[in-house]
Amino acid sequence: MSTQDALRQAQELDLDLVEVAPQASPPVARIMDYGKFKYERDIRAKEARKRQSRIEVKEIKFRPKIDPHDYATKKGHVMRFLKAGSRVKVTIMFRGREMAHTELGRKILDRLIADLQDLAVVDSAPKQDGRNMIMVMAPSKKHAVSEVAEGQEQR
């Protein structure tokens, strides 16, 4: 149908002529209420955003000369974050002369990886960033699947 005929028909019906597929040959247009079309498109986009999972990143800070009890406490926090499904950014902060002994920070991170190997995977390996050493851990897939299964069994 010619563009003029389509426009005339749309005006008679008090609707809009909307080009649906401009790249097609010939271009495809549809007679519709454009306001209603925009509203429905926005609602579909909002629903899609709602279904998306937001990945939260929690941060916990350690020092190279951490006390064993403090290490256990902070490890417990990391475990809780991972069980909740969040990624965890672990930071070792170095001060003054501690910068000469960055291997102490690396040992703490390696120990944390070993302690949490069944619960998490290393997302980004430990790397030095100025006075800090940073590592990111993510919940392991198999653990996340078992948590979901346990939640469904309890119902």
Give helix then strand counts, H and E, for the chain.
5, 6
* Among the listed residues 53, 92, 78, 74, the one whose alpha carbon sits nearest the alpha carbon of residue 139: 78
Domains in the chain: boundaries:
3-51, 57-150
CATH of domain 3-51: 3.10.20.80
Which tokens belong to 154?
């309890």
79 vs 83: CA distance, rounded Å: 6
Asked if the model's pLDDT at residue 154 lies above 80, the reply is: no
> Which CATH number is correct for 57-150, 3.40.50.1000, 3.40.30.10, 3.30.110.10, 3.30.70.370?
3.30.110.10
Radius of gyration of the chain (CA): 28
Peptide bond into 26 cis (omega under 30): yes
C-beta atoms surrounding 40 within 10 Å: 11
Residue-wise pLDDT for 128-149, tens only, equals 888 999 999 998 876 555 555 5
- Read off the pLDDT of residues 68-118 as tens digits, 9 standing for 90 and up: 999 999 999 999 998 888 899 999 999 988 888 888 888 999 999 999 888
